[in-house]
Amino acid sequence: MMSAILSTEAVTVRFGGLEALSAFDFAVKKEAIHGLIGPNGAGKTTVLNVLTGFVRPTTGRLLFAGSEIGGLGVNGIAAAGLARTFQNIRLFGSMTVLESILVGAHLRFHNSPIGLIFRSAAARRAEREMIESAYEVLDFVGLGSSAAGRIATTLSYGHQRRVEIARALMSKPKLLLLDEPLAGMNSHEKTEIAALVCAIRAEGISVLLIEHDMQIMRSLCDHLTVLNYGKRLADGKPCEVLGDPAVQAAYLGRKRV
């Protein structure tokens, strides 16, 4: 059995009087596609926010690749190998696709200010490598080099999602977190993004994703965790979890678990 790349131990997040997560435990196995599902307001985005340092856990531990990451902050966690995309696409209006993707590379390519001013051989080499790497990632996500010079926000919605995923991949993550990557897409685009998620996993990158389309989640994920009112309601293989009456009741809102 594959070991875990990420785990949480009794993570609680409180916003004032509201407990968005209550003693939440779960583990993502290496090279798995792991789905996080649950009704609106269940706490799914809060899990991603706490894992990436955007929100600090009130109590509990976060372990990534064997180390505690709870106190590292956003940049420290990203540097440890965790990258994410957001529920609402976040691209800058004036940037080209290539520029948008290069934003994701800053953790990998460090240049000293002096090196940049004098354009040392090392700085020029690093810049060349960074751009080559960006073109490779553009191909990988299915945008191709012809998209590089386009203003990112003028692309179709589905392609903007790919730019976001490409930007996250530029940091060479060990684990990629995707917050509703299929939101707002037609069924053809959804199938294509699902295939891209499989290709990402085939590169050895583990994926944790939030998604509401259960048909896709059933076929795409190796493992599902269900959240309801900030608590883990179910955890296991998609067919078991989605067949669980407590999960179905939570979605239908018939029963408060």
Ligand X SMILES: Nc1ncnc2c1ncn2[C@@H]1O[C@H](COP(=O)(O)OP(=O)(O)OP(=O)(O)O)[C@@H](O)[C@H]1O
- What residues make contact with ligand X under the rule CB under 6 A? 15, 18, 20, 38, 40-46
107 vs 171: CA distance, rounded Å = 6
As measured in angstroms, the least distance from the Cβ of 126 to ligand X is 37
Taking the least distance from each CB to ligand X, the nearer of 147 and 208 is: 208
| Shortest distance in whole angstroms from residue 68 CB to ligand X | 22
Q: Give CA separation, 87 vs 125, 139, 222, in Å.
A: 35, 23, 22
Q: Which is nearer to ligand X, 49 or 171 (CB)?
A: 49
Q: How far is the CB of 180 from ligand X (least distance, A)?
A: 7
- Of 148 and 249, the one with the shorter C-beta distance to ligand X is 249
Alpha-carbon span 205 to 177, nearest angstrom: 10
Quote the least distance from Cβ 230 to ligand X, whole Å.
7
**Identity of the residue, 85 or 100, whose beta carbon is nearer to ligand X in the bound complex:** 85
Residue with Cβ nearer ligand X (46 or 100): 46
CA distance 167 to 105: 8
Please, which residue, 15 or 157, has the CB nearer to ligand X? 15
Smallest distance from the beta carbon of 202 to ligand X, in angstroms?
A: 28
How is residue 162 written in tokens? 């790919």
Cβ proximity of 46 and 35 under 8 Å: no
Output the six-digit token pair for 120: 């040392």
Q: Minimum distance from CB of 228 to ligand X (Å)? A: 9
